[in-house]
Amino acid sequence: MATTKLSAPTSHWIGGVRPLNLRSSLRPEIRQVAATIRSGPYTEELVHTAKSIASPGRGILAIDESNATCGKRLSSIGLENTEANRQAYRQLLLTTPGLGEYISGAILFEETLYQSTTYGEKFVDCLRREKIVPGIKVDKGLVPLPGSNNESWCQGLDGLASRCAEYYKQGARFAKWRTVVSIPCGPSALAVKEAAWGLARYAAIAQDNGLVPIVEPEILLDGDHAIERTLEVAENVWAEVFFYLAQNSVVFEGILLKPSMVTPGAEHKEKASPETIAKYTLTMLKRRVPPAVPGIMFLSGGQSEVEATLNLNAMNQSTNPWHVSFSYARALQNTVLKTWQGQPENVEAAQKALLIRAKANSVAQLGRYSSQGEAEEAKKGMFQKGYTY
């Protein structure tokens, strides 16, 4: 990996987030960091984008459900899976006034990245107005992994460089690639290696095209195993992921992680407290994740909205080497959907519900959350066996 001074960046920056006079306006610590790592046309921008997403009291809203999964969300409130209904739902979420106070990034599905509101404003511009960085899901989903123990692998590397370049032009500044590891299925050494290698290739390609890669090897909640077993698997998975990230010369200062929390399997006889989950999760992260990584943005994985917030809060009771925050889909959307019910007259109430959840997680990111007064609906778990995204 060459260590050189950087040439002037060629890219333009995200509206609202990026100042115009780039080099002089970068915070000195970002300039210093960028000057000591692998040079590339986007290095400074990657470091800046990752830092701005990992900013205090903010996290990521994940609404990058594939059309099929978005259809499941819509059918849960009796709506058909049409482009117009997906647009209406995403419009509700992305035009919530004041969202940028708690949300620093939003992960979109390709359809949404190119879509506009019903009144003609691009969704990307709605986000920029709130100083929220637009992101894009770039993987092509999971398929069976031959030769494994009924496990899967994640597709999407073919043509990824040109897709990332197009997404950048469209306004995206970060990307997400979700692959999964199943504890009840092994995991086999083959499945772990494949997951780690795929994530590393994707991360290198995303960075080469100006997108901060979110690295997400989701360890599924499925199974009746104890928390110690999850810790063992998570340590193994993250060791391989970082081994291959380094082999692929990925700039650690310009990535974000999206891990599962270390919990017992969903069917284990005992539930763990937020304090226990925080202890195991932070132990795993401290053993495996270099402090050069700016942000750890957890997925919710089927936990209830309140559980996900309590666990995040517990992890922020101590000072951590990285920004420890959220990148939730289900744990930010459940109450919103139930409140909306597809009715235009409920949009305002549903947006308020989103702000309540976003604010709760923002407060949890700062370690100051209490679950007092939370609604019963927000305490309902959302785990589903064999969930696909």
Which 224-263 residues touch ligand 13P, going by CB under 6 A?
none
Candidate residues 138, 299, 312, 353; the one interacting with ligand 13P per rule CB under 6 A? 299
Contact between 331 and ligand 13P by CB under 6 A: the answer reads yes
Q: Which of 258, 279, 305, 374 is catalytic?
A: 258
Nearest approach, Cβ of 173 to ligand 13P (angstroms)?
Answer: 16
Determine the interface stretch with ligand 13P among 3-11, 21-29, 143-151, 325-333 (rule: CB under 6 A). Answer: 325-333
CA dihedral 179, 185, 187, 190 (to 10 degrees): -80
- Span interacting with ligand 13P, options 16-24, 199-207, 219-227, 294-302, rule CB under 6 A: 294-302
Stretch that binds ligand 13P, among 232-240, 326-334, 342-350, 362-370 (CB under 6 A): 326-334
Binder among 238, 328, 340, 369 for ligand 13P (CB under 6 A): 328
CB atoms < 10 A from the CB of 119, how many? Answer: 7
d(CA 296, CA 326): 8
Q: What is the DSSP letter of 369?
A: -
The answer to whether 216 is a known catalytic residue is yes
Does 138 bind ligand 13P (CB under 6 A)? Our answer is no
Dihedral sign of CA atoms 53, 54, 55, 57 in order? positive
| Residue 174 in the binding site for ligand 13P (CB under 6 A) | no
Q: Where are the alpha helices (DSSP H) in the chain?
A: 22-25, 28-35, 43-53, 67-75, 83-94, 110-113, 123-129, 160-169, 189-208, 227-247, 274-288, 305-315, 330-340, 347-365
Tell me the C-alpha to C-alpha distance, in Å, between residue 30 and each of 24, 33, 209, 288, 294: 11, 5, 19, 23, 11
Does 73 bind ligand 13P (CB under 6 A)? Our answer is no
Q: How far is the CB of 193 from ligand 13P (least distance, A)?
A: 21
Which segment (47-55, 157-165, 249-257, 323-331) binds ligand 13P by CB under 6 A?
Answer: 323-331
With helix as H, strand as E and coil as C, how does 127-192 read? HHHCCCEEEEECCCCEEECCCCCCCEEECCCCCHHHHHHHHHHCCCCEEEEEEEECCCCCCCHHHH
Contact between 53 and ligand 13P by CB under 6 A: the answer reads no
* Count of residues touching ligand 13P (by CB under 6 A): 14
253 is catalytic: no
33/154 with CB nearer ligand 13P: 154
**Residues with catalytic function:** 216, 258
